[in-house]
Chains A and B, each alone.
Chain A
Amino acid sequence: MAQIECTNALLGYEGQPVLKDLTFRVSKGDYLCVIGENGAGKSTLIKTLLGLTPPLGGTIRLGDGLKQADIGYLPQQTDIQRDFPASVREIVLSGCANRLGRRPFYRKEEKRRALRSMEDLSILPLADRCYRELSGGQQQRVLLARALCATSALLVMDEPAAGLDPVASQELYQLISEINRKGVTIIIVSHDLPSTLRYASHILHIGGPSAYYAAKEEYIASEYGAKFIRMAGGEK
């Protein structure tokens, strides 16, 4: 049973379809990379998976013990976050807010979880720093640590490396792939084709009239994929 089973889904906003006939599946431990041109509907797919936008048709079924609240999220930065007065520790811990249940305060084990995820992303030394004074790459690590507090099942990311310099963005991709190797399923929207081809296990290429979903090797071997890779200059 797959964690996400998407069959003939129709995605869009208030009756305006954006993506038609979308079929793919994500199993535990997969690294699914979503690629496509600007406006193809990648962010729309992400929002639908997160339950922020309902699908207009078709089915998106969660399975393998995955619940909607188990889907963590690494957003692109918003303006609100940029000037927010909060320490790194407070933000990472806020990922545990969905575990509070009826309690007003965090338990020891939740604080430990936050510490562990800061350690995993090597931001423990920054714990008491102010979020808005960190670099873009450090801020993305903080948000990644928060997502890991919320879930260890599946992380969804929308261009997490946008705005980072090449070195910071490579480091981020490496971190994400390490997290993936520990068994966390990853769904990522990316414009960075070399990293995609390096780390992904599956590729979902959306755009034009149809979407193309395949395992990475199959995608590279396919005519469609080879053409896109040549055009995007991802590999010689």
Chain B
Amino acid sequence: MMLQTLSQYLAYPFVRYALIVGTLIALCSSLLGVTLVLKRFSYIGDGLSHVAFGAMALAAILNVSNDMLVAMPITVLAAVLILQLGRSTRVRGDAAIAMVSVGSLAVGYLLLNLFSTSSNLSGDVCSSLFGSTSILTLTLEEVWLCAAVSVLVTGIYIFFYHRIFAITFDESFALATGIRASAYNLLIAVVIAVVIVLAMRLVGSLLISALVIFPALAAMRVLKSYKSVIVFSAVSSVLCAVLGILVSILAGTPVGSTIVVMDIALFLGCALAGRLRAA
């Protein structure tokens, strides 16, 4: 019965697009999530998602057809800025991020209020913050863009896997033995920014952090080698995303929060398993 409804839905291209994009975004964000969590960078992801909201607001009032083209460069720039600010001794890292992120949230909302031509302003804002249904309105062009970026991100991650491991585990050692750690930090920040702009479509800017950190934290509860943590969080994140999208279509719940609830369940399950094994 349920399978029948499901196959009916799968006949629609927008459902297939949503599943494809959801899978890709879940994959990318979980790969980076492990690095972010271990480098104590998770707050950067959170800060950047607010910047992405501000950038999307800007794109909306500029009436750009593909708002990612505006949001992407702005968020990448913010990532670079946060990294530089955090390194200067005058502003501490977390304070720098709080400044940039809360600032862009406020300015974004203000801009929308002042200049938006939309008749349903609070609906638009809610959609940017929590994702709502925008994932179900993807065009084929956006699916291709997302696929291209995901392949690039995954490729970069695999190519630099060993170096990313080295600087994540011990940045001073990597630096001392001649690995250009700051260049890789920059690379990581830029890639995070790109992934966050993509993920905004899926779960909205307030919920992106969940997609980034939950699979990594879940994997770290039960697994003991870096490689297994990466593989497990990638696979489980994809499963959560697919399951979340299907459930939300069947039950009519909001896509973003349904996926996040799946991620929370995954984390709780792993935490429990880790506890049981330790005992």
Contacts and interface: CB of A to CB of B under 8 A. Distances in A.
B and A form one assembly: yes
Interface of A: 14, 50-52, 67-69, 71-73, 75, 78, 80-81, 84-87, 90-91, 93-95, 97-98, 100, 104-106, 128-130, 133, 146-147, 150-151, 156
Contacts of B38: 80, 84-85
A42 to B, nearest CB: 16
Contacts of B226: 84-87, 90
Interface in B150-183: 158-163, 165-166, 169-170, 172-179
A98 B177 contact: yes
B79 interface: no
B177 A105 contact: no
A69 B169 contact: no
A128 B158 CA distance: 22
B177 A72 contact: yes
B223 interface: yes
A85 B229 contact: yes
Nearest to A129: B224
Given A80-B38, A81-B170, A94-B166, A69 B158 contact: no
Nearest to A151: B177
Nearest to A71: B176
Interface residues of B, number: 30
B161 to A, nearest CB: 7
Contacts of B175: 50-52
A104 B166 CA distance: 13
Contacts of B177: 69, 71-73, 95, 97-98, 150-151
Contacts, number: 95
Contacts of B159: 104
Do most interface residues of chain A lie in helix, strand or loop, or is the interface mixed?
Answer: mixed
Contacts of B176: 50-52, 71-73, 156
Given A69-B177, A104-B159, A104-B162, A86 B225 contact: yes
B223 A85 contact: yes
Contacts of B165: 86, 90, 94, 97
Contacts of A69: 177-178
A202 B135 CA distance: 67
Contacts of B161: 104-105
A97 B173 CA distance: 10
B37 to A, nearest CB: 10
A105 B173 contact: no
Nearest to B226: A86
B173 A130 contact: no
A236 B177 CA distance: 41
Contact of B224 (A51, A87, A146): A87
A185 B106 CA distance: 57
A85 B39 CA distance: 12
Contact of A104 (B160, B173, B179, B223): B160
Contact of A75 (B89, B173, B179, B227): B173
Contacts of A73: 172-173, 176-177
24 contacts: A50-B175, A52-B172, A72-B176, A72-B177, A73-B173, A73-B177, A75-B170, A78-B170, A81-B170, A84-B169, A85-B220, A85-B229, A86-B225, A86-B226, A87-B226, A90-B227, A94-B165, A97-B162, A97-B177, A98-B178, A104-B162, A130-B225, A147-B173, A151-B177
Most B C-beta atoms less than 10 A away, residue of A14, A50, A72, A85: A85
Most B C-beta atoms less than 10 A away, residue of A98, A106, A129, A146: A98
A172 to B, nearest CB: 18
B129 to A, nearest CB: 32
Contacts of A68: 178
Most A C-beta atoms less than 10 A away, residue of B160, B176, B178, B226: B176
B170 A86 contact: no
A100 B163 CA distance: 9
Cβ-closest 8 pairs across A and B: A69-B178, A130-B224, A97-B166, A50-B176, A87-B225, A86-B226, A94-B166, A98-B177
B4 to A, nearest CB: 42
Contacts of A98: 174, 177-179
